[in-house]
Structure 1
Amino acid sequence: MSVSSACLGIIHEYTSDSQKFAREGRILSVISPWRAYELSLQLFYICLQTIIILLFKPTPPKTPDQPTKPLGRVAVIGAGLTGISSSAHAIAHGFDVVIYEAGDRPGGIWAHVNRTSGLQLNSLIYRFHPAVLWSHAFPRRDEVLREIRRVWKEYQLEPRTRFNTPVTSVKRAPKEAVNADDLDPKHQGHARWLINDGSDGPFDAVIVTVGTCGKPQKIGFPGMPNSEESSDGKSDKSDNKQQGKNAEDEHEGEVFQGQVIHSSELDDADLEGKTVVVVGSGASGVEAVETALSKGAKATIMIARDDKWIIPRNIIFDTTLSAQPFGRETPLSFIWEWVLKKWHYRGVEDLAPAHRGIFEGTPVVNDAFLDHVRTGKCSYIRGDTLRLINSGALVNTRSRESKPKDPGEKKEFKGDVVVLATGFQRPQIDFLPEDIFPEDYQRPDLYLQNFPTEDWSILMTNSAYVNAIGTVGHFHIGIYTRILLSLLMDKDARPSPKDMKLWVDNVRFVKRGARGSPLSFFTYMELTLWLLLFHVLRPDRIRWVFFIMQGWGVTPKEYKH
């Protein structure tokens, strides 16, 4: 999308809304100064992005056969947002790429969510590639997919993408199959890699971008229609029985008479005038409540097994929070939590987590959900879903100070539709060699949280972290890709397995005591410290600083003509 077409689109949207309001007799809305102010902000946002594009957008190849003399070959696993961005960066700097995608179209998780799904963070901190041009501060699914496809096409990635090609094997190429003598990572070398049957030839590096959200995870509960079980073969039935002897005896044999769907299937659901029970309190659950109400649901009930922090859609607050230097709870974390309770949670302070710190899990970014609870459009029930019954769900309700599976009071909640907002399965990476993840250095305990310590030529952007704030689709994708490319181009900059393990050990020492794992929470501070140390302590690496940070300095000459 060009800048002019983006501006015209915004103006057309404003004009169409004005005509709609006029037809409905809403004259005050037509002449509202606030709408005019919002229009001016949107146009200013387009101008701001234009500056970013002019400064940082890498030059794309002009034809599909460029680069004619590649600096190396990179395999990218996954054609989602991260995979397309990584590929675009690599080819822009003179490396040839091949993208392997198990599905039939680009987009990753965005290609499998509801139409109403959108960014919870401001799109200014969701610039997955410098060429992106957002029309809205909080774009919805279709706009996100449009930008992914535009970058995919502009950087000549379409003919380089293998759709319907799941990766089942990544293995080291034998020495006789490659024209290289630097195959040992212990001596400034790296492996060359074969994907699946090796028909595409050896690759100098592999970027794994399978993400952290795979197939929908459907948890099975007793009483589900058609004897549905969970998608991972598990059921909550055994856990439910542990919460109280004969907990559901009086409802034994009952089957829910309504519809049970996963939160990713709401697009085609008829919710008009119905009561919707949402099982799950994470981002999927919050979005499911919003979607249900937007589709005309009479009421919604959220059953929350545990409480999640919900932070506002505020670019200053979210950016400052994600820049926290330690990536873990600290003695000062209570300040953030106090501010949230007094500001964002006003009137519904009871929903704030009692046992979970804000840096102990990925918070939900949302402005509307708490208002839905305040106004009574959503009933927030803290408890464990025991089973489905004829008319809804049987829940072991608990107090705020309780934890999952603690004793409580069993209550029935009636509903017409049950939405399983139980998230998505974590994608497997069993196609990678096991020996690149030695004991104590497995996901997320990796070098810079993204490189296996046994060989830096495999990069796992957005595929290794457990929790994070606002980091999935931002500029770090390009930085990590360019770190990999700089290591491919500069033999003296390459870290040995010993160096990488030492870095991981030092970070773990600094962050020891963090709940879950010292490296389970991703922040930008570790990357920032590495960038400083990488260049300050080794002046010979200064020449890479603008390439790694801004993407300047490495562009094939043939792209410019």
Structure 2
Amino acid sequence: MSVTAAISSDVRNFADESKALGREHDVFGLLSPVRFFWAVISVGYIFIQRVIIALFKPRVPKPGTKPKAYNGRIAVIGAGLTGVSSAAHAAAHGFDVVIFEANDMVGGIWANVNSTSGLQLNSILYRFHPAVLWSRGFPLRDEILAEIARVWTEYGLEPRTRFNTPVTSVRRVKSAGDEEDKDPNKLGHARWEINDGAEGVFDAVIVTVGTCGEPMMIRFPGMPQDGSSTPQDEKHSEDDDVFRKPILHSSQLDSPDAGDLAGKTVVVIGSGASGVEAVETALRRGARKCTMVARDDKWIIPRNFLLDTLIAAQPFGREMPLSGVWEWFIKKWHYQGVEGLVPAHRGLFEGTPVVNDAFLAHVRAGACEYVRGDTRRLTAAGVLVNERPRGSKPGDEGKERVLKADVVVLATGFHKPTVDFLPRELFPEGYKRPDLYLQNFCTEDWSVLMTNSSYMNGIGTVGHFHIGIYARILLTLLLDRSARPAPKDMKLWVDAVRFVKRGAAGGALGFFTYMELTLWLVMFHVFRPDRLRWCVVSSNAVVELRGKGAVADGGVECFTGFSSSCRGGGCIRRGCRRNE
């Protein structure tokens, strides 16, 4: 999106809101200085992004040109947000990239959600690539997909993408180098073949299958045996206790199967982010009432950039004595009037919170009823649940109740994508997802990076600049033999984190905050001072590692995106010289 288009979008939204307030004769809302203040902030946000782009955006390869030689070849599995961003960074730094995508379009999970789905975090915390330009703080699906496609196109990834090509195997191949180079235990690195090897040999593999795969359609008793969700009552007796009205997954609320929700009662099974969003979508489409069945309470925090950033800034990703301060503040401010929905047995830093402003307001207004309980079955009338009091746990004794429904929405999430195509020896006992080096590198071989594919739970830990940093760390390891960690060192890192965070709910690496992730990446360089040079400079053109130095053809680009050039046959980094 261009700056002009982004600003035009903000002005148009402001004008539409003003017209709506005018029609409602809401003079105070129309002339509210707060509304004008946020309008100015929105336009200012766009200019701030332009500064970020100017400073950090990797140089775009010239269309139709290829380097004299590539630094290496990288296979990227998945053309979602993370895959496109990782591939763009690699292509910008002189690597040959091939993206393998099982479907027929880019976008990943964002291509399979409702049009009303938006970011759970402010977009300032969701800059998956430095070139991204958002029009608002919480963009929706179509804008997110448009930005993914724009980065994909701008960095020339279209001819490098193999659509409808699911990856079924990743195999280690023997190197043409010496014996030491074949053995990762001696700081060499493996080479890889994808599927039948038709695309050649790769120096590294970036697995970006994410954490959300196919929709998880859990079956409950009382659902049609044939899977049909359309009325077929004429085929059954009146005593047939089967729900014959629409049954949808939360990702299908935009589909024709959803039909007209106006005036209908919708029961949403599930209380996670997709459940909260399903309630919002159903009410926006005119549903008379929504009922959410929550098997377990989850924290809901407001869409407030400052508050969300401060929460994500806790450096120790687990419950701490001062965590109660945040919980008390959110309870008193955000949960005012609905304090009964505050989780009784779950701390704020023990699971991924839902970021939403509207849901609790719907509960306060009576538009949505929150029922804590276990779903027993579907009936002809709706959903039979075991309703439980606050403080109870799933499966505890409660009281049976039938929730009448015209539509049932299964907000039951998505299947976790498998990584069975990777060799099993990459994941020895005790070092399976998410217990990986820096939570994303396989401890047996650093040339397999799994950005965002081992994520379990966290606060503010997806979609941000760490995608590019992980990608550039991988490029550094490919270019600089001395920077590579040995398997024993990677396992030691995992063991150290598990020791420091022992007792953490969900495991040491099962939950982390963005500040914690940032500290991991900082320590990666600080504990190995020889890597610090790559924080300052990395090659932007063809780089050949010779000994402990690199030979650059043309200019060099800083790791963070700043660019410079060789002057007088020398560069600002020792060991880097112009390739005459």
Give the TM-score, by structure 1 length.
Answer: 0.91
1:197 aligned residue: 196
2:302 aligned residue: 312
The one of 306, 329, 338 equivalent to 2:328 is 338
1:348 aligned residue: 338
Q: What do the CA deviations read for 1:383-426 (whole angstroms, capped 9, x no partner)?
A: 00101111111110001111001111001111100000000000
Is residue 112 of structure 2 the alignment partner of residue 112 of structure 1? yes
Of 528-537 and 95-104, more deviation after overlay is shown by 528-537
**What SS does the aligned partner of 1:55 have?**
helix
1:187 aligned residue: 186
CA spacing shift, 1:21–1:356, aligned 2, 3 Å: closer
CA spacing shift, 1:146–1:183, aligned 2, 3 Å: same
2:452 aligned residue: 462
Of 218-227 and 135-144, more deviation after overlay is shown by 218-227
Asked whether the 8 Å contact 2:268–2:292 carries over to 1, the reply is yes
Is residue 101 of structure 2 the alignment partner of residue 101 of structure 1? yes
Write out aligned runs for 1:213-228 (5 A).
213-228=212-227
The one of 254, 257, 261 equivalent to 2:244 is 257
CA spacing shift, 1:13–1:335, aligned 2, 3 Å: closer
Asked whether the 8 Å contact 2:447–2:474 carries over to 1, the reply is yes
**What SS does the aligned partner of 2:50 have?**
helix
Q: What do the CA deviations read for 1:77-124 (whole angstroms, capped 9, x no partner)?
A: 000000111111111111111100001000000000001111121111
CA distance in structure 2 between the partners assigned to 1:526 and 1:21 by the alignment: 43
CA distance in structure 1 between the partners assigned to 2:364 and 2:56 by the alignment: 43
Q: Which structure 2 residue ranges, 5 or more long, are not aligned?
A: 230-237, 539-558, 568-580
CA spacing shift, 1:554–1:381, aligned 2, 3 Å: farther
CA distance in structure 1 between the partners assigned to 2:179 and 2:87 by the alignment: 24
Is residue 440 of structure 2 the alignment partner of residue 450 of structure 1? yes
1:526 Cα deviation after fit: 4.5
Q: What do the CA deviations read for 1:134-187 (whole angstroms, capped 9, x no partner)?
A: 0011101001011000001000011111010000011111235x7996121111
**What SS does the aligned partner of 1:384 have?**
strand
Q: How many residues align?
A: 536
Is residue 384 of structure 2 the alignment partner of residue 394 of structure 1? yes
CA spacing shift, 1:161–1:68, aligned 2, 3 Å: farther
Q: What do the CA deviations read for 1:19-54 (whole angstroms, capped 9, x no partner)?
A: 666678777766655544333222111111111111
Equivalent position amino acid for 1:118 in 2: G
CA spacing shift, 1:4–1:332, aligned 2, 3 Å: same
1:527 Cα deviation after fit: 4.0
Asked whether the 8 Å contact 1:257–1:391 carries over to 2, the reply is no
1:512 aligned residue: 502
Asked whether the 8 Å contact 2:89–2:468 carries over to 1, the reply is yes
Is residue 153 of structure 2 the alignment partner of residue 166 of structure 1? no
CA distance in structure 2 between the partners assigned to 1:467 and 1:556 by the alignment: 44
Equivalent position amino acid for 1:259 in 2: P
Asked whether the 8 Å contact 2:460–2:514 carries over to 1, the reply is no
CA distance in structure 2 between the partners assigned to 1:409 and 1:554 by the alignment: 69
1:423 aligned residue: 413
Write out aligned runs for 1:159-558 (5 A).
159-175=159-175, 182-228=181-227, 253-268=240-255, 269=258, 270-547=260-537, 550-552=560-562
Asked whether the 8 Å contact 1:185–1:497 carries over to 2, the reply is yes
2:60 aligned residue: 60
Of 523-532 and 114-123, more deviation after overlay is shown by 523-532
Asked whether the 8 Å contact 1:94–1:555 carries over to 2, the reply is no
CA distance in structure 1 between the partners assigned to 2:495 and 2:228 by the alignment: 41
CA spacing shift, 1:184–1:523, aligned 2, 3 Å: farther
**What SS does the aligned partner of 1:325 have?**
coil
CA distance in structure 2 between the partners assigned to 1:254 and 1:291 by the alignment: 28
CA spacing shift, 1:114–1:27, aligned 2, 3 Å: same
Equivalent position amino acid for 1:190 in 2: H
**What SS does the aligned partner of 1:550 have?**
coil
1:8 Cα deviation after fit: 2.8
CA distance in structure 2 between the partners assigned to 1:229 and 1:398 by the alignment: 30
CA spacing shift, 1:530–1:34, aligned 2, 3 Å: closer
CA spacing shift, 1:397–1:72, aligned 2, 3 Å: same
Q: Which structure 1 residue ranges, 5 or more long, are not aligned?
A: 231-250
Asked whether the 8 Å contact 2:240–2:380 carries over to 1, the reply is no
Asked whether the 8 Å contact 1:278–1:301 carries over to 2, the reply is yes
1:3 Cα deviation after fit: 1.4
**What SS does the aligned partner of 1:110 have?**
helix
Asked whether the 8 Å contact 1:67–1:96 carries over to 2, the reply is no
CA distance in structure 2 between the partners assigned to 1:371 and 1:334 by the alignment: 24
CA distance in structure 2 between the partners assigned to 1:102 and 1:40 by the alignment: 42
2:544 aligned residue: none
**What SS does the aligned partner of 1:296 have?**
coil
CA distance in structure 1 between the partners assigned to 2:45 and 2:318 by the alignment: 33
Equivalent position amino acid for 1:145 in 2: L
Asked whether the 8 Å contact 2:55–2:561 carries over to 1, the reply is no
Equivalent position amino acid for 1:284 in 2: S
Tell me the percent identity. Answer: 64
Equivalent position amino acid for 1:162 in 2: R
CA spacing shift, 1:256–1:538, aligned 2, 3 Å: closer
1:234 aligned residue: none
Give the TM-score, by structure 2 length.
Answer: 0.88
**What SS does the aligned partner of 1:45 have?**
helix
CA distance in structure 1 between the partners assigned to 2:527 and 2:395 by the alignment: 52
1:69 Cα deviation after fit: 2.1
CA distance in structure 2 between the partners assigned to 1:294 and 1:92 by the alignment: 42
